[in-house]
A and B are shown apart, each in its own frame.
Chain A
Amino acid sequence: MSAQGDYIELRAHSWYSFGAGASSTADVVTRALTYGYPSLGLTDASNLCGALEFSEQCLSAGVHPVIGVDLMVREVEGDGPVTFIAETGEGYANLSRLISLAYMTGGRSDPVLDGRFLESHAGGLITLLGAPDSVLAGLIQSGEWAGAESLVEKYRHRLTHGSVFLELQQHLAYGDFTRNKRLRELAERCGVETVATNEVWYHDPYRSHLHDALTAVRLNASLSDVRERLKVNGQYCLKPPATMTQLFRSYPEAVRNTLVIAERCSDFKLPEYLQGRYAYPECPVPSGYNVQTWLERLCEESAGRRYGRIDQKVRERLDEEFDLIRRHDLAGFFLVYHRIVELARECMLELGWGHLETPLEWLPPGRGRGSSVSMLVGYLIGLSHVDPVEYGLSLDRFLSAEATTLPDIDLDFPRDIRERLILRIIDEWGWDHAALAGMFATYKARGIVRDLGKALGLPADEVDALAKDLETDSVSELSHSPTLLARADRPGWRDLLTLSEQLARFPKGLAQHPGGMLVSSTPLTDLMPVQPSAIDGRYVAHWDKDSVDDAGVLKIDLLALGALSQMQEAVRLVRDRSGVEPDLSRIDYRDDGVFEDLGRGDTVGVFQVESAAQMQTIVRMRPKDIYDLALEVAAVRPGVGANDGVAEFLRRREGMHWRYDHPLEQNALERSMGVIMFQDQVVQLGMDVGGFTAAEADRMRRAFGRRNGESLVASYRQMFLDGAARRGIPEPAAETIFGKFNPHYMFPEGHALAFAFTAYQMAWLRRYHPLEFFVALFNQQPMGFWDLDTLKQDARRLRLRIAHPDVNRSQLLCTAEGDDTLRLGLTFVKGIDSRLGSIMLQAREDRPFAGLSDVLARSGLSREALENLTRAGAMDNLSDFSDRSTALWQVGAGYVSGVRRGQLALPMAVAGAPETLAARDRTDRMLDEYAMMGLCPDGHVMELVRHELTDVFTSDDLQASSDGDTVRVAGRVVRRQRPLAAAVFLTLEDEFGLVPLAVWPAEWERLKGALRHTLVVVEGTVSRRDDTLNVVAKKAWPLSVNLDNIRSRPDWR
């Protein structure tokens, strides 16, 4: 078997051994290939997260993958690591089950397997005992021979004959020599074999420092604090077979046995094992039907309700889809989704939404996103709210005739429905058949600096300052960070720089996918380990979406969409206040008024089109119909912007002359004027230009987005060019077209349409029910874009009044009063959570508070809470209120005198404030309100400083400025964005509106210190282009007023 030596490494670890493994699977495989290993074992710690990825990389490199795991096992002799290797498919399934059991019994963060489980789950497994930290090594070291023998015997009894090996390691560590000698003696005495390993933690010796650092990070301590837990030297790397043979020259049988084990495992290949093993759950169908006919029946009935009469166009589309579904045997697949939507509907009804009598497709509990929206069947069984027939959506991206993998259907739900639904699905199928997909959050620059800084023992505040200086996720920024360069010659800091580059993109640990559910009729634990999630009641699988996809396991994306929660609440408010519930599926989708609002950029709070970048493009795009809106939604995506696509598209739309790079582009790109806006267009170009089948073209598209997919992209590029050549397309043109593809995200066309509908519905609500729209928007915060003060400013521009919270009128959340008043809720006041708010509501249930003393006597709140309410203006309407200063004094005095402790049964006047007490002026009140609520209901902070500002334009003044004018503007920094384009975009807000700022990179380096303040003055040049307005910043100063109390939330996007 061996070409280069007589040794095979069976115990390599990858970066999926979180907090220890210091090389990627690709690094390890590549190095193994270099050394000529014909086979290689991966035994990550307590998981199989990298098993499939590793297997695929090995197989494509011509190396046979051996899959195993290091698992902590509890025996009566103690807890210690044991290595298990899958010899067969049965062994792999057992491995997966044992790992799952270790998490179920040992706990999410400390998986420990009770050794007794091995009695029933050891088939097809090989085990290695005796690694340095193991129980067996401990027994040998302490001279407990009888105990050691008995432990080996126990494993011999549990596993099949010849499947127990004692593991010899030689890392040139003190004690290795003696331990190996004794292990061989023990093996001879027990009649088992020895095997040599190098317990590899990194592919190259230079990564040993990273391994040490990761160990410290895992233990949340500095390297100096955990010296005893570090490996003594850097010998734990993948070594050439010849080196290993030489190291173990005294133990030739142990080296030989590496080949024996690898040979025994040679029939097991994980990708082959997985083929055809997965089956999605079967949904029961009425007698007389099979899954196909039942699905067709459901669709026919729904189509009758949807269309009244099924015309030829619908008929043809339905027949086409039924045919595809039959061909790919997907009827059961769609019925699973249908069942999930039914479960979601049950959740919706439990939450008090909808009516049992309303057909599912009329009021679906969620709505589809992604390419699945192009499926008419989905529209008819409640998976989507977009009619694909009406909008001519193509099926190819979602389901082609040649498709070999399961199609992808993503569903969006309001937050509360989704939370229930996940648990309901697990209840329906059981945790071993339904779990969330895993996800690997990867290290980003700031996290790397903080974690490594702590591990290296660097001063925490200096590390924190360095981390805060970073503006992007890329560690390359560190190499020119002045803060770091100034320290680069000091020990620790130098290592920080080196190790940061190595740690970039490492997975930090297993997390749960935001919404990807796996459901299976085969137990999931036969395919991959499953463990409890950090959230009670949920379970998460060890594979991420890529591995799940490769394994052909159905992943159902159930995503929480705040906008749907907002829409749901707004509709309910309209219903409660007017008695009529607007049916958003039947509103006029060609309402000029709504499109005028959108075209003006009046989009604060409107799903998908409210960002500063979107506001800039939408005023140029001026959408006239839903498809235009879909283009707008799709335009501001990294994948479109990467090649200057947005600007190019806008220029073409505004009349610029353009032409295709080759006529064969027309079919794919006609609808978006030659610019790639959608994923579907990449697929179509792959087919039309590269000559791919639809399935191949989709795989090419996916290759761009895969982790470590560079080599895959390179091979697709060649295939694309070859295919184009066969079609007579000149190579330069083919190169140009392929160059338009990029790894950044863009929407599928159907997805953009689905979102466009939601965006339109939100814009419609904003226009016709602004009060309900804003109440819901306030209540659903955080929504990710604007903070409360900006939302409030926008609401005021729509002539809504934002009323202070009121101890007698406010509910927990915001409410609508009259035609135009949004009453702030009690929980919007700092320190008042829903528990405290409920106490107050309960206290006033029988009768309203008569006055301040009554509040003190009956509210049951602490002094701090009452003071906060007073400062927020919640006492302003009480009968005995004179001013907030006096009220604050009275709250303090009343609290001290024991009124709130119930010593006075009847309300009585609280102590009078001293005569010398000064009333709070407007500035005090406003600052109090900012401090208590993050907004001032009836004013803006800029009003406080406006009188100090001379020669400073307001946002209103700016409208009269001309291109090229030099102006000064001032305001609160409410938004910072740094898209893929180099410029930084900021949004200032003053008392009249928003001011968009653009800062070029060179200026940003100079100005960023000033622009990080809450309030700033900026001098710059007005840039007016195609109805957009920007101030290009040249100078900036912080506005020096004492506004420490203002809560600000500038985010990077």
Chain B
Amino acid sequence: MCTDVRVIGCFLVTHLPVKAELLRHPQLNGHPVIVTIPSRGRQVVLDASSEAKGVLEGQTVSEALSQCSRAVTLPADPPYFSEINDTLLAGLYDSVPHVEAAELGVFYLDLAGMADMYGGMEWMADAILSVCDGRLAPRLGIGAGKFPARCAAARADASGWLRVSDDAPAWLASLPVSWLPLDSDSTTRLSGFGFRTLGDVAALPAPSLSEFLGPDAMRVWKLANGIDPEPIVPTILPETLTERLEFPFPVDTVSGTEAGVSALTERLWRSAVLRGRRVGHAALEGDLISGGVWRFDRALREPATSAETLTRTLLAALGSRDALGTGRWPDEALVDLSLTLSDFSPETGRQSTLWSRPPRRVPPEIAGVDRLVRMIPGSPLPERRWAFASSLVPLSRPSPVKVSLSGDTPQRVWAGPASGHAVDRVVDLWEVDTEWWTSDPVRRRYWRLALSDGGLITVYHDLIAGGWFRQGY
């Protein structure tokens, strides 16, 4: 069916960064909160909660704090904000067939015929506004084009909707000229001439404006008159999802590979794209230590609905043997591992509420199986050089050790449950004094000791807190 009537919706979540942070830090509700981003070597305000009175976007942190000294500042977490945005997109696709994701927190919806389907405009709006957690307080604007819809959304109450009247130019006339999609220079120049509202711009002869603003002028003039013919360009949800990890050392055990698979499924299931969706196909791939590639893929007879079920299915499949009786585990040690999921389908019986699940955590037993990351490779402190990424477990962590002394020199060392070993000789001695500018200064005196059993051990004395520790160096 073809219709001439364009009904465009704009789904708007204002202040998404702050609202997103409040979702994961609910204890901050009611407090002034500022989200900051780095800009030219300084932290500036990206967003602020309504309690942060006087704080403006773009202010430096010190300016903001001078306005609101009680404010809690949080650094922006763009991947997290994108995740929230993806979740909103996925949720909107449950209600509307065509959704265009614009900037963060802004979505355009093709609502032609949708009101009839929902039994009325009000029911439709309620359905759309309920696709996300109420704490995000979305707004819905409805108009004959994207621009009027966007303006309506911006003027709607929180968690409410607003429709542009039939006389769009009149409805838009009082809005400030800064709402037009113009660069700040053009906006300033227009304001400088006294053209401060959309009505002022709409009243200008189009050719005059065209001479002044150039090629963009006609579009701007149309927008000011409520005319926006731009179509909705639906944003496609991803067809496949892939995650990859590097082992800190080549893995040649079943348990190690299993841990890798588990870690990958857990990480993939954190993606918003999989919320309310089932997975029909999974493919594993890994680089072998000899240089070859190991692959294993499986079409799932029963689409997986959770990380646990997918992990179970995959491990069961890997544990089976093929028709020739050959095992499916890799023959050699794996250097890395990736998992690609595809063939997504809607999860049946799913309620369209988000945020209802408890946050997922990586089980501690697989926390170490992840990519090895450089921390401070040149640090004089071994435990600050390398770590596993997912949980930042440092390598070469010191462990307490019992040491008996003669003067200030170790005489005997108890490194385990055994009765300890006498120190044969001091092989080396060195000191580290660093991090003094932080809240965690470090001063240690290290001893490399040859023990009576022929072994070598490195221990240090913590010169600040006291105590002896053993450490690989």
Binding site for B on A (CB under 8 A): 172-178, 208-209, 212-213, 223-224, 227-228, 230, 232-235, 455-457, 459-462, 464-465, 491-492, 495, 885, 888-889, 892-894, 896-897, 911-914, 916-918
Contacts and interface: CB of A to CB of B under 8 A. Distances in A.
B67 interface: no
Nearest to A917: B193
B243 interface: no
A918 B429 CA distance: 82
B80 to A, nearest CB: 23
A896 B213 contact: yes
Interface stretch (B116-124, B127-135, B198-206, B227-235): B198-206
11 contacts: A174-B380, A213-B437, A224-B437, A228-B379, A234-B433, A460-B42, A464-B62, A885-B193, A896-B210, A896-B212, A916-B204
A232 B212 contact: no
B208 A914 contact: yes
Contacts of B165: none
B158 to A, nearest CB: 32
Contact of A889 (B60, B212, B378, B380): B212
Contacts of A227: 376, 378-380, 434
Given A227-B379, A228-B378, A176 B194 contact: no
Contact of B212 (A175, A457, A893): A893
Contacts of A911: 208, 211
A172 B429 contact: yes
Contacts of B377: 228
Contacts of A896: 210-214
B296 to A, nearest CB: 42
Main secondary structure on chain B at its contact with chain A? mixed
Contact of B433 (A175, A233, A492): A233
B428 interface: yes
Contacts of A460: 41-43
Contacts of A893: 208, 211-212
B378 to A, nearest CB: 3
Closest CB pairs A-B (n = 7) = A228-B378, A893-B211, A461-B60, A896-B214, A233-B433, A461-B62, A172-B431
A173 to B, nearest CB: 6
A959 B232 CA distance: 72
Contact of B62 (A173, A175, A465, A916): A465
Contacts of B434: 227, 230, 232-233
B432 interface: yes
B204 A495 contact: no
Contacts of B204: 914, 916
Contacts of B258: none
A621 to B, nearest CB: 46
B430 A172 contact: yes
A233 B41 CA distance: 30
Contacts of A176: 430
A704 to B, nearest CB: 38
A459 B429 CA distance: 38
B433 A892 contact: no
B379 A462 contact: no
Contact of B43 (A174, A213, A461): A461
A703 B360 CA distance: 74
Contact of B431 (A223, A233, A461): A233
Residue of B62, B437, B445, B446 with most chain A CB atoms under a 10 A cut-off: B437
Interface residues of B, number: 41
Interface in B375-392: 376-380
Contact of A456 (B41, B437, B473): B437
A223 B193 contact: no
A896 B376 CA distance: 54
Residue of A177, A213, A228, A914 with most chain B CB atoms under a 10 A cut-off: A914
B439 interface: yes
B290 interface: no
B143 to A, nearest CB: 27
Nearest to B59: A461
A918 B200 CA distance: 12
B62 A235 contact: no
Contacts of A173: 430-431
Interface string B228-251: 000000000000000000000000
Given A228-B376, A888-B192, 7 more contacts: A174-B430, A213-B437, A223-B437, A224-B438, A233-B431, A888-B193, A896-B211
A175 B429 CA distance: 9
B74 to A, nearest CB: 14
B270 interface: no
Given A889-B193, A911-B208, A918-B193, A232 B42 contact: no
B437 A459 contact: no
Contacts of B379: 227-228
A459 B61 contact: yes
A1024 to B, nearest CB: 40
A233 B432 contact: yes
Contacts of B378: 227-228
Nearest to A216: B437
A59 B63 CA distance: 54
Contacts of B60: 461
Interface string B330-353: 000000000000000000000000
A903 B205 CA distance: 24
B431 A892 contact: no
B76 to A, nearest CB: 15
B194 to A, nearest CB: 4
Contacts of A209: 436-437
Contact of A461 (B61, B189, B428, B436): B61
A997 B432 CA distance: 57
Contacts of B429: 172, 177
B214 A174 contact: no
B213 A232 contact: no
Contacts of A459: 42-43, 61-62
Contacts of A495: 436-437
Contacts of B436: 209, 212, 495
Residue of B205, B211, B376, B439 with most chain A CB atoms under a 10 A cut-off: B211
A786 B63 CA distance: 31
A888 B431 CA distance: 70
A894 B378 CA distance: 61
Contacts of A455: 437
B60 to A, nearest CB: 4
A495 B441 CA distance: 12
Contacts of A232: 380, 430-434
Contacts of A213: 437
A725 B140 CA distance: 96
Contacts of B431: 172-173, 232-233, 235
A892 B61 contact: no
Contacts of A235: 431
A509 B428 CA distance: 39
A461 B212 contact: no
B200 A916 contact: yes
A174 B433 contact: no
Contacts of A177: 428-430
Nearest to B381: A227
A236 to B, nearest CB: 11
Contacts of B438: 224, 491-492
A461 B194 contact: no
Contacts of A917: 193-194
B433 A208 contact: yes
A97 B62 CA distance: 51
